[in-house]
Amino acid sequence: MSIQSIDLYDCYDANIHCPFCGDKVIDYGVENPDEAGVFPCKHTLYIASEEAWEYQSETFNKHLGLEGVDLNEVGWGKDELPEQYKDMSSNFELIDQIKIPDSFNISQHVGPPAMMVGYIGFYPMYED
């Protein structure tokens, strides 16, 4: 089973707390309203948008065979990506490959004119 997904459309600017430990992982109350404060906890798999990866956990990288790969550096369709990901064209396609039990993705969709999506992934750390 792939990662479970929760889509937020009206709450695209709501702070996100980890459901396992309660830590605030995304804080939109930071000084610059155009930037979110990113504070991954031990249950955070990744924090990303379609434009960039803010955080890739060691578990995320290991699970997807991306050890030593900075996804911001390689980009989609580049030779540096492992073979199984070369045909992908979006961050969500990669996120959808996660098969960690009880893991889930929260997508925060921002409407026009920005049309951005932020992704935050969590897992309960069963394997640790």
Are the beta carbons of 36 and 27 closer than 8 angstroms? yes
The Cα 111–Cα 78 span in angstroms is: 30
The Cα 115–Cα 126 span in angstroms is: 35
Q: The pTM is what?
A: 0.86
Q: What residues of the chain score a pLDDT lower than 70? A: 31-36, 75-80, 126-128
pLDDT score, position 128: 47
The Cα 20–Cα 56 span in angstroms is: 18
